[in-house]
Amino acid sequence: MASAREMRLRIKSVKNISQVTRALETVSASKVRKAVNAVMATRSYATKAWQVLRHVAEQPGRDSLHPLLVKRSNVKNALVVVVTGDRGLAGAYNSNVIRFTAQKFDQYSVPVKYIAVGRKGRDLLFRRRKDVIADFSNLPAAPSFADVSAIGRLAVEEYNNGNVDEVFLVYTDFVNMGRQIATVKKLLPLELEGEGLVEDFEHKASSGPSAAYEYEPDQREILDEIIPRFTALQVYQAILESQASEHAARMVAMRNATDNAKELVSALQLVYNKVRQQTITNDILDIVGGAEALAAK
């Protein structure tokens, strides 16, 4: 059994760790509120952009309007944009995203390339020997659209140049503080029906008379501008969702760590009391034994 001094040092060490985890929990709670506010602030713009894009793309001759609207019959390569965090201490947040990506694309029918957003995801992809063609790490704590637009532009360029025939986005959808869901979304070619973009924007306008739009100078130039921008917007929104999910996961993980530290301190305190009681008992026995030895003389 450890000595009383060793037990005191262990208790002090665990208490120090609990103070650190409590501080990290507080910081994450503050960051997750800001991240959720940022997600909510993009909803109106994303919804209106979706309405305009849908109106343009649903016009007759959709396949001839823009290359990003055409589904390629012969798919040879795919590109996956994987969004993770730059730091750990978030429970299984980062590993869950990579595990989900592996389940979806390890046995994919065509070769897959990856764009890693976040240092943890990049390291895990390299460890699995994946083909990572680009890395976007150390994004700002509150990224702007300009900070992440290069990711969407790169995906569009890879698609337009014929290097890939499909582009997917893997990120973590923020549901609430206790639930974050790994999600895969097809970015290109642009999907307008089924389980594509329609269900991703839950706050789209209610049903009713469709709005009338006037386009200047013409549809093609509008599509050339709006489709790449909307693709980058999806990446931007996914990064905001992932950041909110990361902070929430870290807050929960640090809260659990703090609670576990408290339980461990209580258990160590009981052991320390037993050791201290045993030490006192041994000292009393030594004194009694010595007194009896002196009395026997």
Q: Which of 122-136, 192-206, 229-243 has the lowest mean pLDDT?
A: 192-206
Q: What single-letter amino acid sits at 173?
A: D
Q: What 8-state DSSP symbol labels residue 231?
A: H
Question: What is the average pLDDT across 182-188?
Answer: 88
Note the pLDDT of residue 171.
Answer: 93
Judge whether residue 168 has pLDDT over 90.
Answer: yes
Q: What percent of the chain has pLDDT over 70?
A: 84
Note the pLDDT of residue 227.
Answer: 79
Note the pLDDT of residue 205.
Answer: 41
- pLDDT class of 116 with cuts at 50, 70, 90: very high
* Residue 267 parent element (H or E): helix 219-296
Q: Which residue is it, tokens 């764009």?
A: 115
**What DSSP line would sit under 90-106, residue for residue?**
STTHHHHHHHHHHHHHT
Note the pLDDT of residue 195.
Answer: 40
pTM: 0.79
Beta-carbon contacts of residue 85 (< 8 Å; ≥ 6 apart): 93, 94, 118, 119, 120, 121, 242, 243, 246
Per residue in 265-280, pLDDT (tens digit) is 999 988 888 888 888 8
Q: Count the neighbouring beta carbons within 10 Å of the beta carbon of residue 194.
A: 9
